[in-house]
Amino acid sequence: MPVLGRLAVRHAAASAGRARRRLVDDLDRLGLPHELVEDAALLLSEMVGNAIRFGDPLPGNVLLVRWGLVKGRLLLRVTDGGGRAKPQVRDAGPFDTRGRGLAIVEAVAAAWGVKRGGRGVERSRTVWAALPTRQAEGRPAGASVEGAGSLR
């Protein structure tokens, strides 16, 4: 599976913008549809933001961000050093200023999920999301699948 982008970013809020810009540049260079690029940028921003808010950093105070094409889908992955709670969709109220990240991922992605790896200092958690690359494919309702999404 060809990896289109691989980026280690600081475990800091500004990293969401850096990762998003790099993703958009890579996808635009490939000539992928504008709507796909916009959806991917939104998903990656939410995923990196969640990893910064709720995840521990990997060694070196970084997150690993990757994207690639797999069987007609664009697969996005953000790996952090794990955290206390399993990522899950929350019900945010109309006046809540947080808590919508994974609800957005679920609404926009064709599928998404969480994969855990390692233990102790080597522990990690990867949140992934997939988008269909063909314009003819509709956007199915979001589906969470534990542990899926192979992008090395």
Domain holding 90: CATH number? 3.30.565.10
- CA quadruple 100, 34, 76, 72: dihedral sign: positive
> Rounded to two decimals, what is the model's pTM?
0.79
Classify the C-alpha dihedral 15-9-107-124 as positive or negative.
Answer: negative
H/E segment holding residue 103: helix 101-108
The structural domain count of the chain equals: 1
Q: Is 71 exposed, middle or buried (0-12, 13-18, 19+ CB in 10 A)?
A: exposed
Q: Is residue 139 situated within a structural domain?
A: no
Q: Is 32 within a domain?
A: yes
| pLDDT for res 83 | 79
* Residue 144 binned pLDDT confidence (cut-offs 50, 70, 90): very low
Give the separation between CA 40 and CA 23, rounded to whole angstroms.
Answer: 8
Per-residue pLDDT band for 150 (boundaries 50, 70, 90) equals very low
CA distance 142 to 114: 14
**Mean local confidence (pLDDT), 139-144:** 40
- Residue range 25-56, pLDDT digits in tens: 999 999 999 999 999 999 999 999 999 988 99
* Full residue range of the structural domain in which residue 47 is found: 3-132
